[in-house]
């Protein structure tokens, strides 16, 4: 399975600001000036994470692919536009879009997804929410967007994930669960052969609410090869944003350790966070694991364009 990130920011798309760009390029040029390595590509390979990457302009969108099968897409935030650009000249393709919920940051890429403008393509939307179609139409009401959802030329299908759980799709088993978020959110546990990818974004795990369902969540997420999880806040921020529907990175690491996850992806970063803030959250999470030192849990900060192969 190949997992690719097209959008990892939470709440609203957050492009790199000019002052942040200048700060990064100045730091890179200063390092280059003093470096013995003058080949640009070789030099770039030596850069630390904070200078070699930018973290999260686009909002939630991730693909899961396996051996050229149809593409599974987790959420349709602004990153979906970038994904669609890869398929502008591809015909007869089927895309499966699993939606966590209908907050803007998870659906705003739909009107800009180029494959929806090609009548030979099929786009299948999945959600347990019975208002799935209405919620998508509402986003493209004439007062919000010039073209209605109905008029998008691709073939559109809708699957309400209620009865079948797990749902079988091209060899994938897709199990969905309810998460704790204002207005509701859906988590997905996707497995194929012996691989398991879990997606739990827009969810507030607290010691209190996890307590009631701790065995259920453990059974769901246990031994995930990859857990992509809402870590919008640092622990300090979480205390002032209690009940806002998002999880702290500290809590996510604790849960990932308890659930014996192999790789935890820090996802749905706060739009107020600079790249430096996110690196700090990553380093703090790595420190937290060192304290346990019982097993290897790899922490990954979601970066657009980054692929994880399992
Ligand atoms: Zn969100
Ligand atoms: Zn949300």
Domain assignments of the chain as residue spans, ordered by start? 2-16+54-309
What would the pLDDT profile of 148-182 be if each residue is shown by its tens digit?
A: 999 999 999 999 998 789 999 989 999 999 999 99
pLDDT above 90 covers a percentage of the chain that reads 85
Sign of the torsion angle spanned by Cα atoms 248, 234, 295, 299: positive
Give residue 280's pLDDT band: very low, low, confident or very high (50, 70, 90). Answer: very high
Q: What are phi and psi of 178, to 5 degrees?
A: -85, 135
Distances (CA, A) of 89 to 73, 85, 155, 279: 19, 9, 17, 37
User: How far is the centre of ligand 1, averaged over its atoms, from the C-alpha of 202 (Å)?
Assistant: 5
Measured distance CA(69)–CA(63) in Å, rounded: 12
Predicted confidence at residue 138, as pLDDT, reads 97
Residue 35 CA to ligand 2 center (angstroms) comes to: 44
In this prediction, residues 73-92 reach a mean pLDDT of 97
Instruction: Give the number of the ligand closest to the Cα of residue 230.
Output: 1
Q: Which of 81, 79, 74, 73 is nearest to 58 (CA)?
A: 79
The total number of residues shown for the chain amounts to 310
Confidence band for 244, pLDDT divided at 50, 70 and 90: confident
Class of domain 2-16+54-309: alpha beta
User: Is the pLDDT at 271 greater than 80, yes or no?
Assistant: yes
**Is residue 237 very low, low, confident or very high in pLDDT (cuts 50, 70, 90)?**
confident
Ligand 1 centroid from CA 106, angstroms: 6
Ligand closest in space to the Cα of 77: 1
* Own/partner pairs, 175-178, CB within 8 angstroms, 24+ separation: 175/220, 176/128, 177/216, 177/220, 178/128
The per-residue pLDDT for range 113-149, each reduced to its tens digit, is: 999 999 999 999 999 999 999 999 999 999 999 999 9
246 pLDDT exceeds 90?
Answer: no
Judged against a pLDDT cut of 80, whether residue 28 lies above it is answered with yes
Ion ligand 1 nearby residues (CB, 5 A):
10, 105, 202
Q: Ligand 1 centre and the CA of 203: distance in Å?
A: 9
Count Cα atoms within 13 angstroms, Cβ side, for 18. Answer: 0
Is 208 exposed, middle or buried (CB count within 10 Å of its CB: 0-12, 13-18, 19+)? exposed
pLDDT recorded at residue 264: 97
Nearest ligand for residue 185 CA = 2
Q: Are 59 and 10 in contact (CB under 8 A)?
A: yes
Q: How far is the CA of 94 from the centre of ligand 1 (A)?
A: 25
- Which helix (H) or strand (E) element contains residue 178? strand 172-179
205/189 Cα distance (integer angstroms) = 17
| Average confidence score pLDDT of the chain | 94
**DSSP category for residue 239:** H
**What pLDDT, on the 0 to 100 scale, is given for residue 92?**
95
| Ligand whose nearest atom lies closest to the CA of 232 | 1
Flag whether pLDDT at 295 surpasses 70. Answer: no
């Amino acid at each position: 399975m190949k997992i690719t990130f097209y959008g990892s920011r939470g709440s609203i798309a957050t492009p790199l600001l000019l002052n942040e760009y200048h700060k990064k390029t100045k730091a890179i040029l200063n390092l280059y000036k003093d470096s013995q390595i003058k080949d640009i590509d070789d030099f770039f390979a030596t850069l630390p994470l904070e200078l070699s990457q930018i973290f999260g302009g686009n909002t939630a969108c991730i693909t899961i692919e396996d051996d050229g099968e149809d593409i599974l897409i987790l959420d349709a935030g602004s990153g979906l536009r970038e994904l669609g650009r890869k398929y502008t000249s591809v015909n007869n393709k089927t895309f499966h879009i699993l939606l966590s919920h209908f907050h803007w940051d998870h659906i705003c890429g739909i009107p800009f997804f180029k494959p929806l403008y090609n009548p030979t393509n099929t786009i299948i939307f999945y959600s347990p929410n019975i208002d799935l179609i209405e919620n998508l139409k509402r986003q493209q009401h004439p007062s919000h967007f010039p073209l209605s959802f109905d008029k998008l030329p691709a073939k559109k299908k809708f699957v309400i994930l209620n009865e079948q759980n797990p749902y079988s799709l091209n060899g994938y088993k897709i199990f969905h669960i309810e998460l704790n978020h204002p207005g509701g959110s859906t988590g997905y546990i996707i497995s194929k052969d012996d691989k398991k990818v879990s997606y739990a974004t827009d969810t507030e795990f607290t010691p209190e609410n996890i307590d009631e369902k701790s065995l259920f969540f453990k059974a769901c997420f246990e031994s995930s090869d990859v857990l992509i999880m809402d870590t919008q806040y640092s622990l300090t921020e979480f205390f002032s944003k209690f009940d806002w529907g998002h999880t702290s990175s500290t809590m996510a690491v604790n849960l990932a350790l308890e659930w014996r996850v192999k790789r935890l992806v820090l996802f749905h970063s706060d739009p107020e966070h600079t790249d430096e803030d996110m690196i700090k959250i990553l380093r703090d999470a790595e420190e937290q694991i060192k304290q346990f030192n019982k097993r290897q849990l790899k922490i990954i900060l979601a970066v657009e364009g980054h692929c994880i192969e399992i």
